[in-house]
Structure 1
Amino acid sequence: MKKLIAYITTAYPDKEFTIDLIHSLKENGVDGIELGIPFSDPVADGEIIQEVNKRALQNGYKINDTFYVSEKTGNIIDTYWMGYFNNFYHKGYDFMIEKAKEYNIKGFIIPDLPYEEAIEYENKFPLISFVAPTDSLDRIKTILQNPKEFIYLVAYAGITGSDKKEDLSNIIKYIKEIISTPLYIGFGVNENTAREKAKNVDGVIVGSTFVKVLLEDISNTEKIKKISQKAKIIKESIND
């Protein structure tokens, strides 16, 4: 069965909401959580996730909120901390590893840490490898020398939340030929695109289509219900 990883921003509108949302997502077929650490300059993310990051920070988000949520949910669903390297560097990378192990976190997803710099850190704790359509086959082979947990295939060059399309068939075929680590595709995955994007890969990573619900003027209960319904539709569509 193909997997569904859901990105959500920690502690927006508050940390108890995030905990309740994670429980609901698990009940509706989500296999893993990409728990976003709010940051002031999320360069890989589009306007939707940028706005929620900004609001979380304005609400007083602190890294302890991520620890709090992870303590409550890390043992019920595979969880990955997604953040920009500044988040990890500021607190101390070894300290973040220590806390991640305490809360059963499966790995880190750091989109602004290039492979050449990631080498220094990848043997300390699982660090998810990114592959982009702009990477040459030689570079892909180099990046995938020591993959952890899963490989994050970026669906297009750009930022999250866009609706671009690129032919990834050759890249997917090449990756599958050289490695058996699960391959998940992210960027631009929603209810309408998930089935097509999931072809020939092992799962999808969905973010903006969930996070944009957080910006809607509806109750928290309705937000959880709406996001969970989207997750259920996506999980079913990728496994039809």
Structure 2
Amino acid sequence: MKKIILFLPLNYPNKLFFFNFIKKIFKYGIDSIEVGLPNVDSIADGNIIYDSNKYIIKNYNIEKYLNNIFNFKLLNNASLLILMSYYNSILKYGEFNFSYLLNIVKIDSILLIDYNLECNYNLFFLIKNKNINFINFITSNISNNKNIFLNNFFIKYNYFSYIKGITGDKKINIKYLNKYLNKIKNNFIFGFGLSNIKLLIYVKKVKNFVIGSFIIYLINKYYYNYKKIFKIIKLISIIIKI
């Protein structure tokens, strides 16, 4: 069965809204949550998420972020939680310190957008040794050599950039994508800028979809109307899970 993962930067648009929103979201077809550690250099996520981070990046550090995530998971009994961040921030903080904190907070999975396994194995193995899933980020223009290289690692999920998304490759068609996905062994989390929900029906192999930029757009537009946001999310879940 297809699953939907909701992405939001931590405490967006504010801490009260974030906690109340996430707590109710599972009733409307969302299966799990990807929480982003706000990063001032997150332009690779596209303008929507980059702009959202600018409002919540002040006066925070990694320890405070992870403490907030731990409190959220504890209060809401969240069984699956993915943490998204950037390797540059972790490198400054320290790889060992970061992996140690992930273990304490009981993060289930970690996705690092700018981490390259070909250049550095250290953090990958530190995270795997803590029994935390490492999610690898790939795009549709990945080379065959890199594809073979990645398949040598035990990676449960690849996070695949959407072909016609806000931040994805806009030249690849659905037939090409389905053919390409058959070449890769691992399961997929599919997202990174989803904008055309109906097209997702035709992506046959993918079972895990992330919706983030569109959710942020809905929150900005209907901030004072929870019911409207949840109604749209419920409709999206029905379309994707057909």
Class of the TM-score when normalised by the shorter of the 2 chains: 0.7 to 0.9
TM-score by length of 1: 0.83
TM-score by length of 2: 0.83
Residues 166-175 or 106-115, more deviating = 166-175
Match for residue 230 of structure 1? 232
Distance in 2 (CA, whole Å) between partners of 1:77 and 1:228 is 21
Q: Deviations over 1:63-120 (max 9, x none)?
A: 3134223332264131111111122223322222222222221121111112313522
Residues 52 and 215, structure 1, Cα contact 8 Å, conserved in 2: no
5+ unaligned residues in a row in structure 1: which ranges? none
Match for residue 170 of structure 2? 164
Distance in 2 (CA, whole Å) between partners of 1:109 and 1:217 is 29
Read off the aligned partner of 2:211 and give its amino acid letter: V
Q: Choose from 149, 158, 161 the match for 2:156.
A: 149
Q: Deviations over 1:130-164 (max 9, x none)?
A: 2211112232121232243321111239863x693
Match for residue 239 of structure 1? 241
Return the structure number with greater relative CO, CA threshold 8 A, min gap 6: 1
Residues 19 and 69, structure 1, Cα contact 8 Å, conserved in 2: no
Match for residue 91 of structure 2? 89
Read off the aligned partner of 1:95 and give its amino acid letter: N
5 Å-filtered alignment, 1:16-31, equals 16-31=16-31
Q: Residues 178 and 90 of structure 1: is their aligned pair in 2 closer, same or farther, counting only changes over 3 Å?
A: closer
Match for residue 187 of structure 1? 192
Q: Residues 121 and 23 of structure 1: is their aligned pair in 2 closer, same or farther, counting only changes over 3 Å?
A: same
5 Å-filtered alignment, 1:19-58, equals 19-58=19-58
Q: Residues 130 and 227 of structure 1: is their aligned pair in 2 closer, same or farther, counting only changes over 3 Å?
A: same
Q: Residues 184 and 217 of structure 1: is their aligned pair in 2 closer, same or farther, counting only changes over 3 Å?
A: closer
Q: Choose from 140, 147, 155 the match for 2:147.
A: 140
Residues 66 and 101, structure 2, Cα contact 8 Å, conserved in 1: no
5+ unaligned residues in a row in structure 2: which ranges? 128-132
Residues 164 and 194, structure 2, Cα contact 8 Å, conserved in 1: no
Q: Deviations over 1:179-234 (max 9, x none)?
A: 2x321211332463453364321121111001123333733xx2x44443333222
Distance in 2 (CA, whole Å) between partners of 1:168 and 1:118 is 33
Structure 1 residue 31: deviation in Å? 1.8
- What is the percent sequence identity of the aligned residues? 25
Distance in 1 (CA, whole Å) between partners of 2:120 and 2:237 is 31
Distance in 1 (CA, whole Å) between partners of 2:165 and 2:236 is 23
The RMSD of aligned alpha carbons is 2.7
Structure 1 residue 170: deviation in Å? 4.5
Read off the aligned partner of 1:155 and give its amino acid letter: Y
Read off the aligned partner of 2:160 and give its amino acid letter: L
Q: Residues 121 and 69 of structure 1: is their aligned pair in 2 closer, same or farther, counting only changes over 3 Å?
A: closer
Distance in 2 (CA, whole Å) between partners of 1:230 and 1:198 is 21
Secondary structure at 1:188's aligned position in 2?
coil
Match for residue 206 of structure 1? 211
Structure 1 residue 10: deviation in Å? 0.6
Read off the aligned partner of 1:116 and give its amino acid letter: E
Secondary structure at 1:109's aligned position in 2?
strand
Residues 11 and 66, structure 1, Cα contact 8 Å, conserved in 2: no
Distance in 1 (CA, whole Å) between partners of 2:60 and 2:218 is 19
